[in-house]
Chains A and B, each alone.
Chain A
Amino acid sequence: MTPKNQPNGPLILTLGIFVLCLIIGYQLSLRRPLWNDEIFSQFTVVDTQSYQDILFFKIKNREGNPCPLFYLIQKAVSDLWQYKFPLDWHYEWAIDEAGSQVIMRLSSNIFMSLSIALLFYFFTHYYSLVAGIYSLLVTLSSFMVWAYWAEARPYALWFFLTTSQLLLFLILLRSKNKETALWKGLMVTHWLLSFTLILSAIQITIISAVLYLYQKEKDWKKYFWLAGVPLGICSFYYFNSMFYGYSLVRPFQLILRNVSWQGLVLFLMYCGFLIGESKKAKSFEGKHFGIVLVLMLVAALAFLFVMSLKQGGPEFASLSERYLIYLTPVSVIAIVLFSLDLVKIYRRSSWMWTNIVITLVGLLLLRFLGAYMEVQGI
């Protein structure tokens, strides 16, 4: 068999994982009744507003986030299935309606499954099968993945676009040539992000700035299309949005739900090794991504600080961890990259290697247990 005819193993595995994730997402959709926020969006925006209304700010008094992409997708899915919310909704708190649960959450299920599969493919293709499997386990041990996998709200889409953005960024950093296709891909992702959520302005700014620092490409016109235009779109929707009051309850918990304490421990450990083994600094491939991670965490803290100044809303409308969901793919990638670095650097010292593997396995198990307890509300 010539290499050309050989089946692409990672791709086949990725497809298998994608299908498996779709099945899991389908089961999750069936298990959870639709809750008020999901029904509200379907009932007041998707079913009743036209594509133009959604695109041109007519939903700003209905939804806190007036960015249209998610609602346009939901409307397209609804049109495709000729679906309209079948019940006369009287503001029930939650509704058990199997068909609606599956259709309304279809796009979220696809986006979350795609994200998981993409992460697996990236690490299998660029590192090894073990790295791919490890990335899969780290992703599945994230509380936020399980919480927003089957929810008819824009968070799974945001998760997917952030994952795509970060992976394209990593590939661009690895590539020594100025690859136009990758650059265009990242630009499209930034545009889509800006049409998904105003808050995506944070990650667009950070990724573009870090890219400018580490990439050979310094043409300002390219950065204008990469960051300037999407930030303009975000501002446009920001000025056409309705600000709801929020209260801030346990702000660090919001970050921890996305990053996990196990992730934080690993990040600190990595920093420690990076400082302690400064001679080997060149071998720490994940350090560029470390800068992204630090900037994203600082931005999240700054966001929480600004919200604490503005807070004044009711307790039930407390700021949710979902507004920081972009931190989950950031932390998953950081955990995997940092772990791979540590394992690689100490491969010749069997004692250190053993300790690092024990620590990584232990942290992963604890992360799974932590996510399970969070999902169960324990």
Chain B
Amino acid sequence: MQKSRLSAKTSKPLVTAGLLLLFAYLIVQDFQKIQGKPRYPSASHFVLDQSKVASKAKTLTLNRLLPKSFDYLLSFSQKKEPLNISKFEEYFLYYQKVVEYLPGRADAQGMLGFCGYYLGKTRQAQSALEKAIAINPQFSGFYYNLGVIYFKQGRYAQAVEALKKAAMLPPKAALSYVLSSREIYAPFFIHEKDKVGFLKEQLRETSRQTYILLIQSYLHIKNFPQALVAAKDAIGLDFDEPATFYYDAGLALYGQGNYQGSLPFLKQSVELDTGLADGYYYLGQALKAQGEENLAAQMLRRGKKEHQLHPRPKPEDEIELRIF
């Protein structure tokens, strides 16, 4: 009994002393952390003001490099302005600095890729777009631009991979991403009265061009069945100027030797676009294979005439990189 009282007497101060020691130890640990100042890799919201772009100097540098206007870049991407290298260099420098300070910004990496490509820095552009995809694999725009670069380099199999991903990603995710990018993408749409409407239109056009290039890439590697699937998907999506997709579907069937199957698609393509010279040409060839010589000759003549009177580039030749 006496022993237990004694142990209670001695253990109580020990517990209190233990508590004091524990807190003293934890407090000293924190002080050491403050003195050593190792920093967290990311603090979730202080994009600027505290840890990500730590110093005021960096902010000022970004402000100084910020182009006065982004209108030119938007006009260029909409083919309203010709390529102006000195302007592109200004944008390139800015985005380069942004990714240097904020390497986790996929939107800035994407824009660096966009500008780099038009300055002839293809490898750097490609690498920036790959980084953008690694950071945000949900934005179709990065895959699209990478796909365009591969296509223009003649690397069709790689173009297919990139464009397939671009086509598969939901447009809602792209819209949400562009809207949330206040520092990088906002300057391109901030003055639009109907921002969401404008962006939806832009993203839909990107999606249409994705399908055009995807089908062409399949055709180049002679994967006609997949070209047909993609063309039918595009028809189902009800894009503007659908004649090209009917033509592509017809061509994919024609490439497989299914001349009869190609006929309705090719007919539909020339009905929707009466100036589609290649449509008439392949329609003529398919009819010829079916033994309809007279009609075939008529279509071939019409195709030749359209080609001479209204020559036009192929849709895939007009496709360029896009901002989003």
Contact = CB atoms under 8 A, between A and B. Distances in A.
Interface of A: 32-33, 35-37, 40, 44, 61-62, 64, 90-96, 147, 242-245, 249-250, 253-254, 312-322, 351, 354-355, 358-359, 361-363, 365-366, 369-370, 372-378
Contacts of B194: 61
A168 B183 CA distance: 41
A93 B138 contact: no
B44 A254 contact: yes
A85 to B, nearest CB: 14
Residue with the highest number of chain B CB atoms closer than 10 Å, among A35, A40, A91: A91
Nearest to A32: B49
Given A92-B66, A358-B19, A369-B27, A318 B182 contact: no
Contact of A365 (B27, B67, B69): B27
Given A32-B49, A93-B62, A378 B23 contact: no
Interface string B6-45: 0000001001100110110011001101100111101111
Contacts of A64: 180
B297 interface: no
Nearest to B15: A355
Contacts of B186: 40, 91
B50 A377 contact: yes
17 contacts: A33-B49, A33-B56, A61-B196, A62-B195, A90-B68, A91-B183, A93-B62, A242-B196, A244-B180, A253-B44, A314-B135, A314-B177, A315-B106, A351-B16, A362-B22, A377-B39, A377-B46
Interface in B179-193: 179-183, 186-187, 190
A92 B175 CA distance: 23
A244 B30 contact: no
Interface in B102-159: 102, 104-107, 135-136, 138-139
Contact of A93 (B27, B45, B59): B59
B138 to A, nearest CB: 5
Given A37-B182, A92-B63, A321-B44, A370 B138 contact: no
Given A44-B190, A61-B195, A249-B42, A90 B138 contact: no
A301 B76 CA distance: 47
Residue with the highest number of chain B CB atoms closer than 10 Å, among A35, A96, A314, A354: A314
Interface residues of B, number: 60
B47 interface: yes
Contacts of A312: 138, 173, 176
B93 interface: no
A61 B22 CA distance: 52
B118 to A, nearest CB: 21
Nearest to A319: B44
Contact of B44 (A32, A92, A320, A375): A320
A40 B48 CA distance: 14
B23 A358 contact: yes
Nearest to B13: A351
A331 B140 CA distance: 42
B66 to A, nearest CB: 6
A366 B30 contact: yes
Nearest to B104: A315
B223 interface: no
B53 interface: yes
Nearest to A363: B23
Contacts of A370: 30
B51 interface: yes
Contacts of A319: 44
A315 B180 CA distance: 11
Given A242-B196, A366-B30, A372-B34, A315 B135 contact: yes
A312 B183 CA distance: 19
Given A358-B20, A373-B34, A245 B40 contact: no
A244 B47 CA distance: 18
Contacts of B68: 90
A363 B39 CA distance: 23
Given A35-B47, A61-B195, A377-B50, A91 B66 contact: yes
Nearest to A253: B44
Contacts of B62: 92-93
A93 B63 contact: yes
A377 B40 contact: yes
Contacts of B38: 378
Given A90-B68, A92-B63, A315-B104, A244 B182 contact: no
B177 A245 contact: yes
A51 to B, nearest CB: 20
Q: Which 3 A-B pairs have the closest CB atoms?
A: A362-B23, A377-B51, A369-B30
Given A92-B62, A245-B173, A378 B48 contact: no
A313 B62 CA distance: 25
Contacts of B182: 36-37, 40, 91
Contact of B50 (A254, A320, A369, A375): A375
A67 B9 CA distance: 61
Given A36-B47, A314-B139, A373-B34, A93 B53 contact: yes
